[in-house]
Structure 1
Amino acid sequence: MGRWEPDARGRLAEAALELYSERGYEQTTVAEIAGRAGLTERTFFRHYADKREVLFSGSAELRESFVRAVADAPESAAPMDALAAGLDAMSEMFAGRREFARERQAVITANAELKERELIKLASIAASLTDALRGRGVAEPGASLLAEVGVAVFKVGFERWIAAGEKRQLAQVMRESLTELKAMTGGG
């Protein structure tokens, strides 16, 4: 029996991403992920429901961070400023993780099932944001429109941030994307 090593969850995530990048998502098995991490399949399933969830395990925390920052923005903040605070909070979660994000996104882009899961994640964020904006007193359809705008700014900003050669921090890219949107719509 091997010596116990800490951070089984992190090791599994790293092993999965390596294998998905090397062999492809569909060609990789849970047994191979566990073996690469030096763990058992049983340990894998203690941490993840399936091999897809390795790539999406932080989704709930990401959504909660975004929504909490929007909800907790000062009452005097305009809805768009509350949205900007949410984008800043989400950006913090990616600090120091650009290479991981690039690899993860490449795996997702190469697989239709994973792209679908990514869209579900983004729709979940938009629904939660809509609720948070309503809680701030933003009426419909404004709350839904602004929530969808927030997700679009996140998606476009994230894609720009992981692009080859990009050096700026994610928060800066998000803010610039939001500023561009405001300028295009006559709101800044």
Structure 2
Amino acid sequence: MAHNKSYNSPWSLKFNTAALVLIPAAVGINYLGKLFVGMLHLPLWMDSIGTCLAGCLAGPVVGALCGAINNIIYGLTMSPISMVYALSQAGIGIVVGLMAYYGRMRTIGGALLTGLLAGLAAICISTPLNIIFWGGTTGNIWGDAVYAVCLANNQPVWLASTFDEIIVDLPDKIVTILIVMGMYSNMPKSLLSLYQSNGKIESLD
């Protein structure tokens, strides 16, 4: 199984300069994606493209940081409740970073599996948060319609909330991962080499 050779260990807290520069860039991509979808009222989130790309390039730790920072910034500037979903974004970054490390982002099948796992991670983390803070809804019109149908059919809130997340998060993460795969697989080796661990190292230890 081919590993992503752009870093030695998926759990390293030592990042080279390129990885550190990637963090604000990825956060910006996430922020713009979420803003764009919000303006057009699309049935997806599209707020984790930068998180997933960072996970592919620099590993799960950087991916998790990008995701978490993105939601903290969005929470401070747009919607305070978004900050609690930093946990979900971090989970997505970890999953995608690990899948890329083990070479799964080089094929369509591997990317689809990555999208599925990233979606499941988001569902598992976000559903309890939705129940705690929103009574089980997501705020997405498509997902919340499914939630309402489930409650109308006497389904428990936790199940309705889970279906609410599934109907939004799985398609969103699969589309996101396919976009990221297109970007990642077409990057020149000279760019990928910037994330190799033999560059200048900064430590978070």
Larger Rg: 1
* Bigger relative contact order (CA 8 A; separation at least 6): 2
What is the TM-score of this pair, normalised by structure 1?
0.43
What is the TM-score of this pair, normalised by structure 2?
0.41
